[in-house]
């Protein structure tokens, strides 16, 4: 079976999909978003997810540079990855925008670039640059006033009011939950469309976040081995979180598969059974469309 072929221009496609996601959240719909990091992972995820996908900064940094999520990937590299993914999928793409890649002018550039590249939402956090992954120690945050300015720049820069601004605060780890909640209130007042209180450390803290921001789309971040307890998606939905991110799940799965497969190959000198065969690989990269073009000539 041939995979679908998407011929819509990225910018037109994005405008259609943004409205769909915003309207869905306004209706109270909830979504589980796996973290995709390249067009290949996004192609496969779209087939199974049937909803929005999340472009994970951790995954992009790991697969593009082989380095950690520590502010090492540039704006140009991230926006190009947004474009690459949005070109091959129709699913709404929520994209990690780190700290906005610098000052207010950088934030404006990031918003314009992400929106034009095909993302439906940008997530920006209030960390000091260079940032760190949200479940790593020693993260520092900028003053709340600076983040408020970034949020206002996002709202003023986006072409469509339906392009979502997800405001993330990393204040919980450094300054405690109360400060994180205060920042969330300020960020919502500044115009953020959704709030992401990163790294709560207990189910009761997750419940407190949900209670504090009823009526606002909330993000929960599930990272295996991270600071936040791993709760089932439905339990988080019931609490009031509408977007549940699984940013490292697919990367963790592929990492374990690579380790296991390489150990088998190097110790046994033969490929293991049970891996995806050549025809399945060709299916996911849509080789049939290339062959059909050749046949038309």
pLDDT by 10s per residue, the chain, length 297: 233 333 333 333 344 454 478 899 999 999 999 999 999 999 999 999 989 999 999 999 999 999 988 889 999 999 999 999 999 999 999 999 999 999 999 999 999 999 999 999 999 999 998 767 656 666 889 999 999 999 999 999 999 989 999 999 999 999 999 999 999 999 999 999 999 999 999 999 999 999 999 999 999 999 999 999 999 999 999 999 999 999 999 999 999 999 999 999 999 888 888 888 989 898 898 888 888 887 776
Q: Does residue 51 lie within any of the structural domains?
A: yes
Q: Does residue 86 lie within any of the structural domains?
A: yes
Q: Does residue 2 lie within any of the structural domains?
A: no
Backbone angles phi, psi at 38, to 5 degrees: -160, 170
> For every residue of 88-155, which 3-state class applies, written as one string?
HCCCCEEEECCCCCCCHHHHHHHHHHHHHHCCCEEEEECECCCCCCCCCCCCCECCHHHHHHHHHHHH
CA dist 203 and 238 (Å) reads 13
Contacts of 216 (CB under 8 A, 6+ apart): 188, 194, 195
Mapped onto helix, strand or coil, the DSSP state of residue 197 is: strand
The whole-number pLDDT of residue 8 equals 35
CA dist 99 and 70 (Å) reads 11
Q: Does residue 5 lie within any of the structural domains?
A: no
Cα distances (angstroms) measured from residue 97 to each of 40, 70, 79, 136, 285:
20, 13, 9, 18, 27
Residue whose C-alpha is closest to residue 3's, from 52, 32, 42: 42
Total domain count for the chain? 1
Q: Which two tokens stand for residue 197?
A: 């209180």
Q: What is the DSSP letter of 275?
A: S
The whole-number pLDDT of residue 14 equals 42
Contacts of 36 (CB under 8 A, 6+ apart): 42, 45, 53, 54, 55, 56, 59, 85, 250
The whole-number pLDDT of residue 13 equals 36
Residue whose C-alpha is closest to residue 135's, from 251, 227, 58: 227
Q: Does residue 95 lie within any of the structural domains?
A: yes
Q: Does residue 145 lie within any of the structural domains?
A: yes
Q: Which domain holds residue 14?
A: 10-264+272-296
Cis peptide before 130 (omega within 30 of 0): yes
Residue 164's CATH number: 3.20.20.60
Q: Does residue 3 lie within any of the structural domains?
A: no
Q: Does residue 241 lie within any of the structural domains?
A: yes
Residues across the chain:
297
């Amino acid at each position: 079976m041939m995979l679908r072929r998407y011929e819509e221009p990225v910018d037109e496609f994005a405008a259609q999909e943004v409205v769909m996601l915003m309207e869905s959240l306004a209706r109270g719909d909830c979504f589980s978003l796996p973290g995709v990091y390249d067009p290949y992972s996004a192609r496969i995820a779209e087939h199974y997810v049937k909803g929005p996908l999340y472009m994970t900064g951790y995954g992009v940094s790991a697969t593009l540079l082989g380095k950690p999520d520590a502010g090492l990937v540039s704006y140009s590299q991230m926006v190009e990855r947004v474009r690459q993914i949005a070109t091959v999928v129709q699913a709404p793409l929520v994209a990690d925008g780190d700290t906005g890649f610098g000052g207010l002018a950088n934030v404006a550039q990031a918003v314009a670039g992400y929106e034009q590249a095909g993302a439906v939402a940008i997530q920006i956090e209030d960390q000091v640059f260079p940032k760190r992954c949200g479940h790593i120690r020693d993260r520092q945050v900028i003053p709340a006033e600076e983040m408020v300015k970034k949020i206002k720049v996002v709202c003023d820069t986006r072409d469509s009011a339906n392009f979502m601004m997800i405001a993330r605060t990393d204040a919980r780890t450094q300054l405690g939950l109360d400060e994180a909640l205060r920042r969330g209130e300020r960020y919502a007042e500044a115009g953020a469309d959704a709030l992401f209180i990163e790294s709560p450390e207990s189910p009761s803290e997750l419940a407190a976040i949900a209670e504090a921001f009823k009526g606002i789309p909330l993000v929960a971040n599930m990272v295996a081995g991270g600071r936040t307890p791993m709760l089932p998606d439905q339990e988080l939905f019931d609490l009031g979180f509408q977007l549940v991110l699984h940013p490292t799940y697919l990367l963790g799965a592929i990492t374990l598969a690579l380790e296991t497969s390489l150990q088998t190959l190097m110790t046994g000198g033969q490929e293991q059974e049970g891996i995806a065969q050549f025809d399945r690989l060709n299916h996911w990269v849509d080789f049939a469309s290339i062959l059909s073009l050749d046949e038309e000539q």
